[in-house]
Structure 1
């Protein structure tokens, strides 16, 4: 039986400010529906992702900014870093680790994101999954 993660709720205080941030960061705005005065649903999808995020009103009981280390995989950390900086997104420098190269950023509410370039040996990056030092 397959199970596919489709939607992650991201708690925010200002829906329009958060939507602008994510669209500026390159996410596609899929839906923006006000259901009632209490509920607004905004779905945003990172480029190339099968999983989306949702922001809005009345969607989650989590405190805005409480998500820590949402993670996405990118093909090239340097190119992604340059692209996000050009879009006006504040990001960390590229952080090289033995298990990948990372860029860290936060949305306007402080929800934390890590963007990981997988190491060349990783099966997720097209490698054989065997560490060269193993």
Structure 2
């Protein structure tokens, strides 16, 4: 059986503001559909992704900004960060973790960090795949993680 993740519903408080942010970030607008004053569906796809995001009025009861740890995989963390900051998106400095795969952002937008795990500045010194990160948040605080993967693990 094949199961493919197709879409993630983002909880946002202002559909227009979220749409402007994701356009600015370079995501592809696939749909912006209104069905009356209480229903609006906006659908975006990150560049190169098969999984999309969707948000709008009447979409989800989840608190705006409560989704964290949404991973965007990049082949060059420095290039990806430069592209986003060049588009006016506020992105953390690049970091890696001392001794592990789990990480977090000091601003609180990514929280899967083990106790005592230290975040170190800059990309991983050996540029190991899966080991360098940067984070950003949308206007509501939904937290995104850029993760550099240059060589996937077997079977991935």
Following superposition, the deviation at residue 35 of structure 1 comes to 1.5
Asked if 1:104 is matched to 2:144, the reply is no
Alignment match, 1:30: 30
Asked if 1:54 is matched to 2:50, the reply is no
Q: Which runs of 5+ in 1 are unaligned?
A: 130-134
| CA–CA distance in structure 1, aligned partners of residues 36 and 63 of structure 2 | 21
Q: Report the secondary structure of 1:37's partner residue.
A: coil
Structure 1 or 2: more helix by fraction: 1
| CA–CA distance in structure 2, aligned partners of residues 82 and 72 of structure 1 | 15
Alignment match, 2:7: 7
| CA–CA distance in structure 2, aligned partners of residues 118 and 110 of structure 1 | 25
Following superposition, the deviation at residue 119 of structure 1 comes to 5.5
Q: Which runs of 5+ in 2 are unaligned?
A: 101-129
Alignment match, 2:118: none
What is the number of equivalent residue pairs in this alignment? 124
Following superposition, the deviation at residue 96 of structure 1 comes to 2.2
Map 1:1-134 → 2, pairs under 5 A:
1-97=1-97, 99-118=130-149, 120=151, 122-123=152-153
Equivalent residues of 1:40, 1:57 under 8 A apart: yes
Alpha-carbon RMSD across the aligned residues, in angstroms, is 1.5
Equivalent residues of 1:73, 1:118 under 8 A apart: yes
Cα deviations by residue, 1:42-67 (Å, 9 ceiling, x for unpaired): 00000000000001000111010011
Following superposition, the deviation at residue 113 of structure 1 comes to 0.6
Equivalent residues of 2:75, 2:150 under 8 A apart: no
Structure 1 or 2: more strand by fraction: 1
Equivalent residues of 1:101, 1:119 under 8 A apart: no
| CA–CA distance in structure 2, aligned partners of residues 100 and 55 of structure 1 | 30
- Please report the TM-score for the alignment, with normalisation by the length of structure 2: 0.75
| CA–CA distance in structure 2, aligned partners of residues 76 and 119 of structure 1 | 8
Equivalent residues of 1:100, 1:119 under 8 A apart: no
